[in-house]
A and B are shown apart, each in its own frame.
Chain A
Amino acid sequence: MSATHTEAPPKKKLSPRRRAQRIRWVQYAVLVGVALVIAFVADWGQIQQQFFRSDLIRTTLTEGVGGALKNTIVYTAGAFVIGLLLGTVLALMRLSSVAPYRWIATIWIEFFRGLPAIIVFIAFGLMSLAFEGFVIPYDPYGTVWVALGLVASAYMAETIRAGIQAVPPGQIEAARSLGMPSGVATRKIVLPQAFRVITPPLTNELILLVKDSSLVYVLGLSASGYELTKYGRQLSSDNASLTPLVVAGFCYLIITLPLSIIVRRMEARQKKER
């Protein structure tokens, strides 16, 4: 603070740009250092043996990764549809003028949001033991869809509610003043606009759902019902190598990365439209 008061010529201060540049060089140097240390210390042979054994990669790919990938996708897609439908109903209930609807929806949403998803799955796994003759059709798909869909519906309901509330009230007024009953106005005017706004967050929830589908292993599925995680884990423990699990992991990325890119594109476009 005193630099301006002293007579002596002040030390030449670095401009903010120069200072930022210098800090960045220090960071690069540290990064390179860390990379070098890792490269020298690591046991590359062991790493390859564990994570990238070529014969195991081949086995994993040929033995049934396709079926597992398909199951992951089918589980996720079904659960997403159920979550979307149920979530829309719940969102409308939360915004309803009928108080009991609001209560039911709130309890439902808080219940399934507060529980670990795995508890829901375990519960569904035990359901047929607890209730004699209790069967959800399309086994194992039906059970997975319902269990995962219930969990998804709670999250989606909140997203959809936010989307509905983002539709300007003038839209509803315009629809109602054209004589549309409130149900028609919701279906034709409000929901289409709400879903346009929330497509990016909903896609994010789809990505989460892809990963959550790995929890279905607790249902105790037969081999034909294995999804990627269960499949990779089984092969990994059979062969005492992590390689199959790594392959399974990459398969998840094949699904989730394109979705991430789509979300980013949509968000960029919405930003531009605004």
Chain B
Amino acid sequence: MTAPTPAAPIVEVTDLHKSFGANDVLRGLSATIRQGEVVCVIGPSGSGKSTFLRCINLLESPTSGSIKVGGEEVNDPDCDIDAIRRNMGMVFQQFNLFPHLSVLENCTVAQTTVLKRSKDEAQAKARENLEKVGLSEKEDAFPAQLSGGQQQRVAIARALSMDPKLMLFDEPTSALDPELVGDVLSVMRRLASEGMTMFVVTHEMAFARDVADRVIFMDGGVIVEEGAPEQVIGEPTEERTKVFLQRVLDPTHVEAGAEDAAYAKRHVGEVAADDVDERHPATHGRNGGGAGRG
């Protein structure tokens, strides 16, 4: 509950509306994401979480409202959307790696074409990020040769290679086999602990509770409840939030850090693990450290 010293806002959304035909999907959203913050968005299926996220980098064009990224209005026909997108990494549920390019090329193609980096520079940057996600040895592989979890980590490395100021994640682990979820979440934890600003749509309550600075609960195209994870997930005040959390948490009763526990259990005594050290869970519960972020 300690109010962190307010950092500069990176994204400011005011009264965002979006409808598909007669379907009003977003009905007046306002939210702010500050430098270095990790904001998790939770909510039932169809509540407009993905649409909200996709409006921020204009993959969907808002019907009305204001979205300011780095102080610049995005919802303006004259804004240079490519320039704004360069500062935002996006990670999709379905990975969307480029299947005709190798892992390394996936991470360099935008650097060389958009940022006009030299090939060497781009490759160095790509390797640095592939190492960060624990996939250095896969740089020559093609996406089809990788597991879902590996593909998603490449997708993260690809986005990071553009040196984004903000990372958007749309249910990055929802398409993964359960045993691969932990690897991706570990990478995201580490990213968070390094101070990356992150906006994450997720169904992983344990991750949200552990890593988020703020949790937004959405339902029916509006923000129902917003606050620290201990509050929104731990002691929700709104009825709709309670119902949703009951439904999500009850069947399996996910514990905080459960995915890390499962991860550790899987890798105990594992000798030939390909990249265990890289995926070692980052400093657990960075919220415990409180002041860790600047």
Contacts and interface: CB of A to CB of B under 8 A. Distances in A.
Contacts of A178: 85-86, 89-90, 110, 114, 158-159, 162
A192 B292 CA distance: 45
Interface residues of B, number: 26
Given A178-B85, A178-B158, A171 B98 contact: yes
A177 B83 CA distance: 10
**Which 3 residue pairs across A and B have the least CB separation, nearest first?**
A179-B86, A178-B110, A174-B96
B59 A177 contact: yes
Contact of B110 (A168, A171, A180): A180
A181 interface: yes
A271 to B, nearest CB: 15
Nearest to A187: B113
Given A174-B96, A178-B89, 18 more contacts: A168-B96, A170-B92, A170-B96, A171-B96, A171-B98, A174-B97, A176-B59, A177-B59, A177-B88, A178-B158, A179-B83, A179-B162, A181-B82, A181-B114, A188-B113, A193-B99, A193-B100, A196-B100
B94 interface: yes
A180 B82 contact: yes
Contacts of B159: 178
B16 interface: no
A170 B85 CA distance: 16
Interface string A165-205: 00010110111111111001000110011001000000000
11 contacts: A170-B92, A174-B155, A176-B59, A176-B85, A178-B114, A179-B86, A179-B115, A189-B109, A193-B98, A193-B99, A193-B100
B85 to A, nearest CB: 4
A173 B59 contact: yes
A174 B91 CA distance: 8
Interface string A143-182: 0000000000000000000000000101101111111110
Interface of A: 168, 170-171, 173-181, 184, 188-189, 192-193, 196, 273
A188 to B, nearest CB: 6
Nearest to B111: A178
Interface in B176-227: none
Contact of B114 (A168, A180, A193, A273): A180
Interface string B65-95: 0000000000000000011011011101010
Nearest to B94: A170
A174 B98 contact: yes
Contact of B82 (A173, A179, A188): A179
A173 B92 contact: yes
A189 B98 contact: yes
B114 A179 contact: yes
Nearest to B57: A177
Nearest to A192: B100
Contacts of A180: 82, 110, 113-114
Contact of A188 (B59, B109, B155): B109
Contacts of A193: 98-100
Given A179-B162, A180-B82, A180-B110, A174 B100 contact: no
Contacts of B59: 173, 176-177
B110 A179 contact: yes
B153 to A, nearest CB: 15
